[in-house]
Structure 1
Amino acid sequence: MIQGLYEAHLPVSNLEKSIEFYSKLGLELSHRHEDKLAFFWIEKDKSWLGLWETDKVELDYHPSIRHIAFQVSLEGLKNSVSWLNERGLEAREAFGFEPHEPFMMAHNGMAHAKIHFYDPDENSLELICKIPNPKNISKRMYLSEWEKLNEEI
């Protein structure tokens, strides 16, 4: 029945500033509705992100709200820290990992490599890709450590 994510929404305090930010990420503005809502394509004609200008942006962050994870390729993820820096953005610490490179979280025969950063309202954004985990490694580590470990296997 469910085939993917059609849309997600985030609260923002300043729609114009957020439009500029999400444009820097390479997302295409689909349309605006009134003065308080804008939609960006995540995948053109497939999924989008709605940005709502609201005072609800003042809600304290929790992973169940104010979070979006964007799927990227492994090669893209390997260059993500410099890609963010080129846009005037910084990766942030997450799950105890410093933001100098992507990190791995592995479980149940699969693994995910990721890096986290914030938008102007401190909504939590993530660049992530799924990576096979045939040896069922369950340790959390930096991506470079993961690659070295898998070379030895």
Structure 2
Amino acid sequence: MKNGILIGVVIVGILVIFFFGDFSSKNHEEQEFLAFQQFLNDEFFPISNDCFDHLNQAVDELYAFTFSDWYFNGDGRDENGILQSDLEQIEDDVLLYEIKYNQALALKKNILNQIESLKETLQLLSNAPSEEDEKSFERFRLKLITMIDILSTEMDEMNKLLESNQ
């Protein structure tokens, strides 16, 4: 009888430890995700917003046929260089941010993909042809719009990842 009670207590103890360990692991995963999200709020999203403002300005200038004036004679090129430098720094920071759990890893991968796409898009802008070269400029315009569409898709994926953790 004593052995039966002792075995029962041991089994209950093991189950309690198992469920507590599982709960603790979920708690750590959620804390890691929230900490990474806060890091992104502080570090990545301000730069990302600046990049999208810059890209939106570029698209507006393309459709107003004032791109060359804005980019080459205005502040477009200088702003682009600053944003490229900022992206390099934030990419290093994101790469160094330690992540263990799958949800945060998926978000980190998405952010790194976005950074790479932003860098490529800004690089395309920095090599923009003059509007006077109509053929090259039209190819540039179509490529830029395609790259911005890719960025929008990556942002949608990021939003799904963020929403799934709430």
TM-score between the two structures when normalised by the length of structure 1 = 0.21
Using CA pairs under 8 Å that are at least 6 residues apart, name the structure with larger relative contact order, 1 or 2: 2
Where is the strand percentage greater, Structure 1 or Structure 2? 1
Q: Max radius of gyration: which structure?
A: 2
Where is the helix percentage greater, Structure 1 or Structure 2? 2
